[in-house]
Structure 1
Amino acid sequence: MDYDVSQGEFVMDYDVSQGEFVMDYDVSQGEFVMDYDVSQGEFVMDYDVSQGEFVMDYDVSQGEFVMEYDVSQGEFVMDYDVSQRDYDVSQGEFVMDYDVWQGEFIMDYEVSQGEFIMDYEVSQGEFIMDYEVSQGEFIMDYEVSQGEFIMDYEVSQGEFIMDYEVSQGEFIMDYEVSQGEFIMDYEVSQGEFIMDYEVSQGEFIMDYEVSQGEFIMDYEVSQGEFIMDYEVSQGEFIMDYEVSQGEFIMDYEVSQGEFIMDYEVSQGEFIMDYEVSQGEFIMDYEVSQGEFIMDYEVSQGEFIMDYEVSQGEFIMDYEVSQGEFIMDYEVSQGEFIMDYEISQGEFIMDYDVSQCEFVMDYDVSQGE
């Protein structure tokens, strides 16, 4: 099925049972609305949308779901305005594959006075989001004003992979919420959870800003492996969290599995900057019957962790039961700075380790 719609409205509702579903779309200067239900079949889609509205609702049961976007020497724009998308995959494979070569990749979500929901649920299958950009710019920009922002990923008995790779370009993830609630909730049961960011010869920026609201990042893994792997070569790595007049919570919970946060920067700058004004800052890591590893390695560069809290409470709470807890910081030929500043508030760092080994290892060579 091959469609070309120019300067008009494009509305479709499909129900496919026990078959193969393949579509190729080109929409220019119009509205693009789709609702799909696929049961016991293969679902493959290829989209090119320019200057319009793109709204989708998918339900796939016992089949394969593939969304493939390929842009060569051009601009890739996905612009969602007050868009609610619900992805439900049961007993199948869910693949979103974006490939951009020598161009610009932009995903821009803007919601004003409404609700923004991205809800991914996978049961007994594989969930893969794979973003690859070569010699270009990769931007994911989420902005919510006076509303609710929810990203909810749930995987049961399967594999969850988010893989971002950028070569010789700029990678920016920018989340901004004003007067609302920001929630990122990842839950994996009996499976593997991998977030893999790799940037070569470029800039990697994750910027979270919340004003007058609540910021929650909640990761829960049961009987599986949790890996967050950030690798930057010859560039700049910045994670910047700013909350004004609200609550900032990062909550990681792993049961009967492995928890790994691995940051590696070569010949560049590594900055983690947390700033909270007139609110509460909580980082809560809990691991039961497993291994907890935070590994920061910087070679020939600068490593900065800067926590600033004004008129509020700052809590870092690490709890490990029947496992191994390792915090390993290694800097070679560079500068290592951990800067904690509290004004008119309370600062608590609480480490509770039961029946296991607790190791904090700081190694700084030829630096400050």
Structure 2
Amino acid sequence: MGHRSALLRDRGTTVGWCVLLVASVLAFASCTSKGSQPTARKGEGGVPVTVALATQRDVPVQIEVIGNVEAYSTITVKAQVGGAITQVHFREGEFVKAGDLLFTIDTRPLNAMLNEVEANLAKDEAALGQAEANLVRDTAQQKYAQSQADRYGRLFQSGIVSKDQAEQMRSNADALAAGVKADEAAVRSARAAIVATKATVDNARVQLGYTTMRSPIDGRTGNIMVKQGNIVAANTMDLTTINQVEPIYVTFSVPESQLPDIKRYMAVGKLPVLATPQADATAQERGVLTFVDNSVDATTGTIKLKGTFPNTDHKLWPGVFVRVTLRLTTQPNAVVVPNQAVQTGQEGPFVFVVKTDRSVESRPVIIGARVDQDIVIASGIQPGETVVTEGQLRLAPGIKVQIRDASGRPAGKKRG
């Protein structure tokens, strides 16, 4: 019994020490938790926030969309006559000027054809000369025969010659007159043949001219699709394409709701268009709006526009996507704040404004256009007022704030 009582006393002592140890741990944890709570309200005077001043400046009113660069004109070079390509006079991707020689096709078959039709022309001209000579001869004979027939007719009336002689002279004159008419028809036929042959000669010369293909525009050549030595057929093969890139178009679409503003500002003057390649934000090109489509796309509710750019340094390339900024006008003395200062609530956009006593108020605002990292405030904020840009989630009207700089330290404090 004594041994059992001692064992129970030892167990009770152990349990007591365990309870005491748990209580100590809980007390230490409670003290640690209290010591780790933020002291913003007591030690630092409010909720830490980052702020910015509302400023006033001239703000451009503009539309920003994504557009596509389009060649000012695109020419597809085709062979207009068949034959073997004997020479290519440019390199792929090379810039060419209007009139520069591009391809040469074998001229020998067409030269032979031209020589043949020129010989036929000479033959027809000789035939015309012969027909005209026959006409002159037969006309002279007909005139003599006519005079003889008239003279014999008078002699027959006088009874000097017989009727047979007079009629013979008359029939001879009539025959020669018919011969003259035939000669005149032969002359007309020869002249018509010459006209037809001259047309054939002209066509042969045109066909021969097609053997040398020249660039109709200034531009950059593309891939050569038919190499030197290959046979081409007329009007069936694309030999290469040429894109005119000086000037160049940038095509883009804007919502139809923007169309009235665009038309109104276009009536005042030319609207500038800025194009920035997505791969190089520093390569900004400036042009002017030159085209507004004549109808709105009913499926998308947008209207197509085009800006024309000089592109003398070739920074814009056909097919490239660019960021397009269409500048309509400039809004003077606009109040702007950073984008992140504007919050959205159940009643619309609002801004937390820091008052002189470092308390905040929730101010409803009417917002305007976004300009880079700022947004225009149409009403609700005055220039020079301080607005909260970070830390709004912990704020409510009337709460005191502790203004911190961008690094998170209280404003005005230096590093220790």
TM class, shorter-chain normalised? under 0.3
What is the TM-score of this pair, normalised by structure 1? Answer: 0.18
What is the TM-score of this pair, normalised by structure 2? Answer: 0.17
**More strand per residue: 1 or 2?**
1
Structure having greater relative contact order (Cα 8 Å, sep ≥ 6) = 2
- Larger radius of gyration between Structure 1 and Structure 2: 2
**More helix per residue: 1 or 2?**
2
